[in-house]
Amino acid sequence: MFVVGNRASYSSHVRSKGDQMAISKRIEDALNQQIHNEFYSAYLYLSMSTYSDANNLPGFAQWMRIQNEEERSHGMRLLDYLEARSGRVRLGAIEQPPGEFDSQLAMFETALEHESGVTTTIHRLYELAKEESDYPTEVELQWFVREQVEEEKTLQDILAQLRMIGDQPTALVMMDRQLGSRQTEAT
């Protein structure tokens, strides 16, 4: 029979929060940067919500508000993770997001461009975790890798619809109704 270990030797390997494998400085810094990126994303989408509201498109505004909440939850998820690993969370200033766009189409183009950048930073972070054999961070980031695929796909679908609509106001109003039905998703 293959013996894994008795109870005494098992308990000697159980680590408390204080003495678990320390997170490296590089990973800690990169996670802090990603926490910042997520909160900036939240702020950017809130700005897009207010732009849509000012354009009398409450459905777009509502959709972007939910996007704002999701990004905030991503930031909190990483923040909770860093704390669970006994890393030090350092919150920096969040820069001013753009507040004006040429159209709803231009706004969503900016959103997609932004998300492509976020995908790149998540992938770099994942590579770093692999390089440092930080398995818990690698596993934590897998959720974000999948989430980015979904986010980019959603934005591409909305952009395709906006391109079809062109400058037909009636179709834009119908799309506004459709986007306004978006519900908060549990993450």
- How far is the C-alpha of 174 from the C-alpha of 165, rounded, in Å? 10
State in angstroms the smallest separation of the CB of 27 from ligand FEO: 18
Site for ligand FEO in 91-130 (CB under 6 A): 115, 118
CA 145 vs CA 31, 70, 76, 148: distances in Å: 14, 15, 16, 5
Q: From the CA atom positions of the chain, what is the Rg in Å?
A: 21
Residue of 27, 30, 63, 71 interacting with ligand FEO (CB under 6 A): 71
Site for ligand FEO in 133-172 (CB under 6 A): 151
Of 69 and 173, nearer to ligand FEO (C-beta) is: 69
According to the binding rule CB under 6 A, does residue 74 interact with ligand FEO?
Answer: yes
Question: Which tokens in the block code for residue 84?
Answer: 């669970």
Residue of 30, 39, 41, 48 interacting with ligand FEO (CB under 6 A): 41
Residue of 28, 38, 134, 176 interacting with ligand FEO (CB under 6 A): 38
Sign for the pseudo-dihedral over CA of 161, 165, 167, 172: negative
Of 41 and 49, nearer to ligand FEO (C-beta) is: 41
State in angstroms the smallest separation of the CB of 24 from ligand FEO: 23
Sign for the pseudo-dihedral over CA of 105, 118, 136, 71: negative
CA 54 vs CA 32, 63, 100, 106: distances in Å: 33, 14, 10, 15
Q: Return residues touching ligand FEO (CB under 6 A).
A: 38, 41, 71, 74, 115, 118, 151
